[in-house]
Structure 1
């Protein structure tokens, strides 16, 4: 129900979102062309109107409170809905123009999406494309992301899902390494080998193997660990050990013979396996620029990743 109180709060809520996104009153004030003290008074007024504390303020930091986070999440939905309403009355809705932000894990962005950038921008000269590496958890609305690619068997149920393909993990080593150290015949043999893993989380050095009804969880070790797929691949090619890769990362190296597959009869699982999922927010009125990228990606990626 729209009333005078709600109308009065709308500008303050929009300013509150900007302050959270920018991380400080000073940064937000520059964008709004007002003083930081004016924004501080605005937040005090908003806190009084909502009867909640939005920020914990110190001389060095501005930390959103749990209650403030809830207000932010709801206010963000409001702002995004307003943006959609604006686009309905502009060419943004019918013409492929403006900016879009696409997030993807580093390995997928580098190996799969990067080659599509120039063809996409050439086909849609009025679109500004922003690619963002996002390997961890993120929120599309909060992080202002239009489309996200995820490598997962548990896609976000609150978002639209377009499954592009399936991805699998491969263990690979250089022929020279295998010649010197021998080919592992069983997952437990890996404890006697140098292994390159991601080193992102405490469990990245534990590799889970499945084969029929058999399961083995192996704690591997190695002198070199890196969460960058191309650096890890370079290390493997140069004989530093056995590395873990997505199939789309390692395909060319396998084809050229620079690396050989290890334990090919086993299924290896981690946090990044399953579907290559393209996800985006459900909306009845999707901007043409977002639809253009979705259609382009589906057409080109399904061909590229077909096995």
Structure 2
């Protein structure tokens, strides 16, 4: 540990020493870093004392590096070059949209909403690598190593920056053929007589909650088909297997095409995956350009 602390203290002086060798004089090196030659000479003296090694032979006309100084210089060059690369990387990170971005979102949102703009975004920014992860339920961006998370929620994470993309709500729907055969429910209690498709993510997914004004109803539904994949569940509804609940963006196209019909429209369904579509990320003063361009692109195309 003591060696490490000593190394940290020596790093600036070793960098100054390397510059003096490369420039050939204290005067030339001092101009490069905007200090006086005498101040730079004191830095080298301090380094010699710390290392117990003489680095230069000083004469009135010439600065000659010692054998020990040459060996130390040879070790310092890779160190200084590595430091230059670190500075260059950080500069690129904040000027050019390049590097990897990990984005998480619920499966349905990822499939229906994000998928269409992924290819155009990557074509626009060829130096960005995009990693998409389907995560249903709460997303801990720090635990999962996520840069940006899309959440469908009425309680966004207060510890993260929030960009509200849109509002989303739950829709109850069935195919016209199913409703013609089984009848249209006009009250939540009537769902007990219907086949219902639910998520089956946890043991309470078949318990549906409805609100209309001051009136609320909790209904335990049942059915022959349960799946936590939105498109598969929607295909089941389209093909007459029963009534299902979906975020509005999942069924908008199917409703507009007449493949499904919304039911119990005057009731509000309470549950997960509704509220606002929240784009969230960690607060930082130094946001990489790659994240900024993705956030701007998402807001432009989704809001």
Q: TM-score, normalised by structure 2?
A: 0.71
Q: Is the 8 A contact 1:184 1:190 kept in 2?
A: yes
**Structure 1: any 5+ residue segments left out of the alignment?**
9-84, 303-307
Q: State the shift of 1:6 in Å.
A: 8.8
Provide the rounded CA distance (Å) in 1 between the counterparts of 2:5 and 2:181: 73
- Post-superposition CA distance 1:206-249 (Å, at most 9, x none): 11101011000111110000000000000001100001111100
Provide the rounded CA distance (Å) in 1 between the counterparts of 2:256 and 2:242: 19
Provide the rounded CA distance (Å) in 2 between the counterparts of 1:137 and 1:153: 12
Provide the rounded CA distance (Å) in 2 between the counterparts of 1:141 and 1:247: 29
- Post-superposition CA distance 1:226-276 (Å, at most 9, x none): 000000000001100001111100000000000000101100011221010
- Specify the SS of the correspondent of 1:218: strand
**Structure 2: any 5+ residue segments left out of the alignment?**
7-85
5 Å-filtered alignment, 1:206-285, equals 206-285=207-286
Structure (1 or 2) with the larger CA radius of gyration? 2
Structure-2 residue corresponding to 1:123: 124
Q: Is the 8 A contact 1:164 1:277 kept in 2?
A: yes
Q: State the shift of 1:139 in Å.
A: 1.9
Q: Is the 8 A contact 2:139 2:149 kept in 1?
A: no
Provide the rounded CA distance (Å) in 2 between the counterparts of 1:292 and 1:266: 39
Q: State the shift of 1:136 in Å.
A: 2.5
Structure-2 residue corresponding to 1:55: none
Q: Give the 3 Å change call, closer, same or farther, for CA 6–191 of structure 1 in structure 2.
A: farther
Provide the rounded CA distance (Å) in 2 between the counterparts of 1:204 and 1:5: 59
Q: Is the 8 A contact 1:87 1:93 kept in 2?
A: no
Moved more, 136-145 or 224-233: 136-145
Provide the rounded CA distance (Å) in 1 between the counterparts of 2:239 and 2:3: 66
Provide the rounded CA distance (Å) in 2 between the counterparts of 1:295 and 1:7: 43
- Specify the SS of the correspondent of 2:95: coil
Provide the rounded CA distance (Å) in 2 between the counterparts of 1:118 and 1:5: 50
Q: Give the 3 Å change call, closer, same or farther, for CA 6–276 of structure 1 in structure 2.
A: farther
Structure-1 residue corresponding to 2:139: 138
- Specify the SS of the correspondent of 2:293: helix
Provide the rounded CA distance (Å) in 2 between the counterparts of 1:97 and 1:182: 55
- Post-superposition CA distance 1:40-76 (Å, at most 9, x none): xxxxxxxxxxxxxxxxxxxxxxxxxxxxxxxxxxxxx
- Specify the SS of the correspondent of 1:141: helix
Q: Give the 3 Å change call, closer, same or farther, for CA 6–174 of structure 1 in structure 2.
A: farther
Provide the rounded CA distance (Å) in 2 between the counterparts of 1:153 and 1:87: 42
5 Å-filtered alignment, 1:33-72, equals none
- Specify the SS of the correspondent of 2:144: coil
Q: Give the 3 Å change call, closer, same or farther, for CA 87–268 of structure 1 in structure 2.
A: farther
Provide the rounded CA distance (Å) in 2 between the counterparts of 1:86 and 1:171: 55
Q: Give the 3 Å change call, closer, same or farther, for CA 253–130 of structure 1 in structure 2.
A: same
5 Å-filtered alignment, 1:1-307, equals 4=2, 89-302=90-303
Q: Give the 3 Å change call, closer, same or farther, for CA 88–219 of structure 1 in structure 2.
A: same
- Specify the SS of the correspondent of 1:209: strand
Provide the rounded CA distance (Å) in 2 between the counterparts of 1:264 and 1:150: 24
Q: State the shift of 1:126 in Å.
A: 0.7
Provide the rounded CA distance (Å) in 2 between the counterparts of 1:104 and 1:210: 27
Q: TM-score, normalised by structure 1?
A: 0.70
Provide the rounded CA distance (Å) in 2 between the counterparts of 1:191 and 1:91: 60
Q: Is the 8 A contact 1:149 1:278 kept in 2?
A: yes
